[in-house]
Structure 1
Amino acid sequence: MNKTDEKYQAYVQILKEELIPAMGCTEPIALAYAAAKAREVLGEIPDRVWIGASGSIIKNVKSVIVPNTNHLKGIPAAAAAGIVAGEAKKELEVISEVSEAKRNQIAEFLEQTEITVDYIDNGIVFDIIIEVYKGASSAKVRIANYHTNIVRIEKNGEIVLDIPVEGESEEGLTDRSLLDVEAIWDFINTVDIDDIREVLSRQIEYNTAIADEGLRGDYGANIGSVLLSMYGDDVRNRAKARAAAGSDARMNGCELPVIINAGSGNQGMTCSLPVLEYAKELNAGEEKTYRALALSNLIAIHQKTGIGRLSAYCGAVSAGAAAGAGIAYLCGGGYEEVIHTVVNALAIVSGMVCDGAKASCAAKIAASVDAGILGYHMFLQGQQFYAGDGIVTKGVEATIHNIGRLGKDGMKETNAEIIRMMIGEN
């Protein structure tokens, strides 16, 4: 693929758009970002807050610890952190620097301030609206479709910003429909490493650091440590354990940032840390490691394009299949090995539900990475799943299309039922 090709430039830009830093689970951080922006527009700390959140936002904020809040959980805590201590200009690192005094003020704000949270359904999966009030003054901020996409700002009823929300299109981002596995394969084999070095080196640095911390510390159910203690330290188990450990830390209050993929830190860690572990084991060298990471990241993004940012379909499945592709490449596999690895992995674990961000995400990550590795080794042994085996159909693109249908359309009612369970509706 030539540097002047449309797809070449698009793929470089997609990596830059998707592989960005975030501190904490991205849905509560998006809430904190919206709240910090609303306070900035208001110009002072409010005395009343109203929050409207779509069901998938509620699902993904309910059970995860908000970093830098002394282990608070939930939507009011995320909003309070953004209002009291957030810097909106930092976007998904909005609460990355919070003093102990500010942490105490967050708790005081929660105790003293009227905060109302309502479920909203405006026909899109990702929707956050925050209104803040101080006396007769007010401000309103809406984020829609992805985590940093502010589409409306109001102050005292006057519109400051208004970007039309046309369904679930992702305004302002490079066209993800340009992605396909064959072109991704061409890209990763021909890309000038300097064009992707900065974004991928940051992913290596950040995600390695939080995996190390997850294994050192005591976070959640400590899935990463359990895997190592029970199953040993061969490369396959290390690949699963390090990805799980990063999630252990991130879901349970660790204050280190991660580099996300498709809006998710868990997915960002899942499609990078196993690849890095295999690269280290195989002494792959810098260039091959970067090409493997580009392959894994882009295949993960490609799958998520059809599914959507948030769904009842666990995003670790997509990222685990993508990690398998990166591992296949590192082990000397060509295009055939890569596509069959992806299809095999998807046949094994597709349908795993997302019931929100929480400690068990780490175990789901381990299972998904295992499926990616198994998918590769199946093909090495002359084994594969064929068209007609469930949702597997002829060709990797057609199978990925089916996965998109399953995650976006087929599991829509599953998502609604999970949300009803989580908010206590019968």
Structure 2
Amino acid sequence: MDYSVKDVLQAQVSPALGCTEPAAVALGAAAAISLLPDKFFDSIELWLDPNVYKNGLAVSIPGAGGLSGLDMAASLGALGGDPDLGLEVLQPLTQDHVAEAQRMIQAGRIKVNLLKDRRGLYVRTMITRGQDRAESIIQGLHDNITDLKLNGKAVSSPLIREDTGSKDNPLDQMDEWLKKLSLTDLLALTDNLDDEDFDFLQQGVDVNLRLAQQGLKYGLGLGVGKTLERLFRQGLIQKDMILSARILTSAAADARMSGVPLPAMSSAGSGNHGLTAVLPIWAVKDYVSGLPQNTVLEAIALSHIVTAYVKAHTGRLSAICGCSVAAGSGATAGITFLLGGDARHIAGSIKNLMEDLAGVICDGAKTGCALKLATAAGTAVQAALFSLHGVNVQDTDGIIGRSSEDTMRNMGTLATEGMIETDRTILEIMVAKQFSDV
């Protein structure tokens, strides 16, 4: 089966409110409790795969006043979430919901279980009220509800996505198709963008820019973007296209990771991927005169497509920072295209970036992600400029392949086979640290 560029964008790019792992937990709870007559519950129990668990431990939840935690995400989803909103499930949240969620947690009503050996994204939620037991399962994708049960019996619901692939990965057919494409094929997909696609891509820019503006105005989260901007204004560093990309992208991550109740336009299942795939390109455009708006948006479309291609190889969640290697690859491809590069230059920029950032680990979602997004954004610009000026990593180097496609496949092998123990060790460190603070 072949897919169009519209199919790819619709499947891979969507708005998400807050970090997508807590959002998935909240969505699972909201979906389960929708089977009960109201939003009151006696208890919630969660079973989570290691990567959802890892990414949901420390990141702030939007609209929750800086509060974090998987138990908080589940409680808020059950009390105030709207499952019809997908990954924007917590949009209706009020402070009353937050206060009640805190009471439920303090009363010991929420239990979180780690499924240490589970592979792939998995969120199972069971909510009890009296004699009733409502359950939901999310698999493969953050918003892919595959099962709903009330008192052990399956329930049909419009919340359950139509089965277009395996439950473990509903996009497996698209992923397998993407894996077979060459970089030239990926580039050719952008030839078929229409006005509807351009409008959608612009919406993504606007959504992500709002987060960046919040980060720059208020110095939220770790304040990486705001600090870089301040250093420039103080004359301590100079603003060029690399710094501009770092400022805009990290400021958006600062806002998102601090729990600002504004959505991000995600890419390949991650809001931070979406920020990295879009904002460096938007920053670079200001340094190139005479660019048609649709050319900029075409570059962003290419970025989303390349990001999806890399994630098809690495999987949705792994021990490798996808913002660095997947969205970073997308961003450098888009920037190279924007600066007039051809397929050969784009291939070189991807290999340059992979060589530079292959070792960046994912140690969960948190405010510190803004530092990694700053690095990814700046490196994406640098890798593009290097390639355009004939600086290209050789295929004799490490995991770099003869082609960009080989390189991206090698990164997938590293993520899915080589980093399994690393992922376990990262989580063990995080869990031990969490319990040592109790």
Report the TM-score, using the length of structure 1 for normalisation: 0.93
1:304 and 2:311 are equivalent in the alignment:
yes
What do residues 293-332 of structure 1 show as CA deviations (whole Å, max 9, x unaligned)?
1111111110011101110000111212221111111111
What do residues 364-398 of structure 1 show as CA deviations (whole Å, max 9, x unaligned)?
11112222222122223322111120000101111
Number of the residue aligned with 1:129 = 124
Structure 1 range deviating more: 31-40 or 225-234: 225-234
Question: Which ranges in structure 2 are unaligned for 5 or more consecutive residues?
Answer: 232-236
Q: How does 1:216-227 map to 2 (within 5 A)?
A: 216-227=217-228
The SS at the match of 2:155 is: strand
Distance 1:286 1:388 in 2: 39
Distance 1:165 1:336 in 2: 35
Number of the residue aligned with 2:148 = 153
1:264 and 2:261 are equivalent in the alignment:
no
Distance 1:395 1:35 in 2: 44
What do residues 322-349 of structure 1 show as CA deviations (whole Å, max 9, x unaligned)?
2111111111111111111111111111
What do residues 133-156 of structure 1 show as CA deviations (whole Å, max 9, x unaligned)?
011111011111110111121101
Within the candidate set 6, 15, 20, 1:21 is matched to 15
The SS at the match of 2:225 is: helix
Number of the residue aligned with 1:3 = none
Preserved contact between residue 18 and residue 257 of structure 2 (Cα < 8 Å): yes
Report the TM-score, using the length of structure 2 for normalisation: 0.91
Number of the residue aligned with 2:234 = none
Distance 1:164 1:344 in 2: 38
Within the candidate set 56, 60, 69, 1:61 is matched to 56
Distance 1:263 1:232 in 2: 34
Residues 165 and 385 of structure 1, relative CA distance in 2, 3 Å threshold:
same
| Offset, 1:99 | 2.5
Residues 166 and 289 of structure 1, relative CA distance in 2, 3 Å threshold:
closer
| Offset, 1:417 | 0.7
Within the candidate set 374, 380, 392, 1:384 is matched to 392
Distance 1:337 1:417 in 2: 37
Residues 165 and 176 of structure 1, relative CA distance in 2, 3 Å threshold:
closer
Distance 1:130 1:151 in 2: 12
Number of the residue aligned with 1:144 = 139
| Offset, 1:52 | 0.8
The SS at the match of 1:132 is: strand
Distance 1:232 1:207 in 2: 24
1:35 and 2:29 are equivalent in the alignment:
yes
Preserved contact between residue 175 and residue 309 of structure 2 (Cα < 8 Å): yes
| Offset, 1:275 | 0.5
**Pairwise CA RMSD of aligned residues?**
2.1
The SS at the match of 1:41 is: coil
Within the candidate set 81, 94, 104, 1:109 is matched to 104
Residues 178 and 10 of structure 1, relative CA distance in 2, 3 Å threshold:
farther
Letter paired with 1:281? Y
Preserved contact between residue 63 and residue 73 of structure 1 (Cα < 8 Å): yes
Distance 1:132 1:92 in 2: 20
| Offset, 1:126 | 1.0
Number of the residue aligned with 2:197 = 196
| Offset, 1:403 | 0.6
Within the candidate set 2, 5, 14, 1:11 is matched to 5
1:240 and 2:246 are equivalent in the alignment:
yes
Letter paired with 1:215? L
1:364 and 2:372 are equivalent in the alignment:
yes
Letter paired with 1:241? I
Distance 2:18 2:311 in 1: 20
What do residues 266-296 of structure 1 show as CA deviations (whole Å, max 9, x unaligned)?
1100010010111233242211011101111
Preserved contact between residue 243 and residue 269 of structure 1 (Cα < 8 Å): yes
| Offset, 1:86 | 0.3
| Offset, 1:400 | 0.7
Distance 2:196 2:69 in 1: 39
Residues 165 and 175 of structure 1, relative CA distance in 2, 3 Å threshold:
closer
Distance 1:403 1:172 in 2: 20
Distance 2:414 2:193 in 1: 36
Q: How does 1:256-405 map to 2 (within 5 A)?
A: 256-283=262-289, 284-317=291-324, 318-405=326-413
Residues 172 and 372 of structure 1, relative CA distance in 2, 3 Å threshold:
closer
* Number of equivalenced pairs: 419
Structure 1 range deviating more: 255-264 or 170-179: 170-179
Distance 1:385 1:116 in 2: 49
Residues 335 and 166 of structure 1, relative CA distance in 2, 3 Å threshold:
closer
The SS at the match of 2:34 is: helix
Number of the residue aligned with 1:79 = 74
Preserved contact between residue 241 and residue 366 of structure 1 (Cα < 8 Å): yes
What do residues 101-130 of structure 1 show as CA deviations (whole Å, max 9, x unaligned)?
333222233334511111114632311111
| Offset, 1:172 | 5.7
Letter paired with 1:21? P
Preserved contact between residue 345 and residue 372 of structure 1 (Cα < 8 Å): yes
Letter paired with 2:302? L
